[in-house]
Amino acid sequence: MYQLNYKAPYDWKWMFAFLAGRAVSGIEVVDEASYCRSFALGNSQGLITLMPDEAACQLKVTLSAGLEPVAAEVLTRVKQLLDLDCQPHTIVASLGELSAARPGLRLPGCMDTFEQAIRAILGQLVSVAMAAKLAGKLAQAFGEPLLDFPQWRLFPTPERLAALNAEQLKQLGMPLKRGEAIIHLAQLMVNGAFPLAAPREIEQGVKALTTYPGIGRWTANYIALRGWQASDVFLADDYLIKQRFPGMTPAQIRRYAERWKPWRSYALLHIWYSEGWEPVS
């Protein structure tokens, strides 16, 4: 078992609820006190189990034997998934009243940027539950069983998805164009052209993502938000955000959000999860 430290406060109940709502069948299991998932890195694969010890401000990480050879990198990915390096007091001081009700809110990241990008595409114009269901179907159809734990599956590799045709993905219940977008992104990944790490200029990186077939501004920003764990992204085109800013265009919302630089991603989360929040004129 490994131990990762973090700075309090940390709203674990919220984080696990967020992950549970998006959990992919066969790949992730989440309850109020723990998170478990299959994971592969290079030729190593296995199960990761995460359990917070709030009294000690530590996260307990258990890796199955297959992941021990790559333990250091897996722990880095866990930190990214759960935003463990966050300095909450700095963010609360910057966001002020907006963050006062939930000072322990963290930015959910991911274990694998490619996987998160595919899941973002699957989430276009469907509910969170439907996106998770589609990802589960994708994993069941094209993911490999996990060695030593055959009841679990691995998320499909870029090579597997790149070799598909759009009709095969359409059969899972998605539009043809969405299947084409997934295949194109997988091919970019295979060719080393997909940006796994956040570019120096996030805005330019987001614009580059929108040039990919089937990736609009919302999806590109969501990939930046969770796939790159960019701390200064605001989804002005998001349905709920537009509801929170009645009468304002996305351009006006983006201008309003300038006040929360360089923590607009955290501001976004607070607005998403603050019922009744309204902008101040």
CATH class of 2-100: alpha beta
Is residue 204's pLDDT more than 90? yes
Which residue type occupies 134? L
Do the Cβ atoms of 110 and 81 come closer than 8 Å? yes
User: What gap in Å lies between CA 170 and CA 165, rounded to an integer?
Assistant: 9
Angle between helices 12-21 and 128-142 (to 10 degrees): 60
Domain ranges of the chain: 2-100, 113-207
Give percent of the chain above pLDDT 90.
98
Give the number of other CB atoms < 10 A from CB of residue 250: 17
Q: In this predicted model, what pLDDT tens digit does every residue of 29-56 receive, in sequence order? A: 999 999 999 999 999 999 999 999 999 9
- Tell me what the mean pLDDT of segment 92-99 comes to: 96
Is residue 57's pLDDT more than 90? yes
Counts of helices then strands in the chain (DSSP H, E) = 14, 7
pLDDT computed for residue 281 by the predictor = 72
Q: In this predicted model, what pLDDT tens digit does every residue of 104-161 receive, in sequence order? A: 999 999 999 999 999 999 999 899 999 999 999 999 999 999 999 999 999 999 999 9
Mean pLDDT, the chain, integer = 96
pLDDT computed for residue 268 by the predictor = 98
Q: In this predicted model, what pLDDT tens digit does every residue of 225-270 receive, in sequence order? A: 999 999 999 999 999 999 999 999 999 999 999 999 999 999 999 9
- Catalytic residues, by residue number, are 238
DSSP state of 279: -
Measuring CA to CA, which residue among 238, 192, 194 is closest to residue 212?
194
pLDDT computed for residue 153 by the predictor = 98
With H, G, I as helix, E, B as strand and everything else as coil, classify residue 278.
Answer: coil
- Tell me what the mean pLDDT of segment 61-88 comes to: 98
Is residue 70's pLDDT more than 80? yes
User: What gap in Å lies between CA 101 and CA 155, rounded to an integer?
Assistant: 36
Q: Which residue, chain included where needed, has tokens 């200029």?
A: 201
- Tell me what the mean pLDDT of segment 45-72 comes to: 98
- The CATH number of 113-207 is which of 1.20.1600.10, 3.30.420.480, 3.40.190.10, 1.10.340.30? 1.10.340.30
pLDDT computed for residue 67 by the predictor = 98
Kindly indicate the confidence band of residue 175, based on its pLDDT and cuts at 50, 70 and 90.
Answer: very high
Give percent of the chain above pLDDT 70.
100
pLDDT computed for residue 68 by the predictor = 98
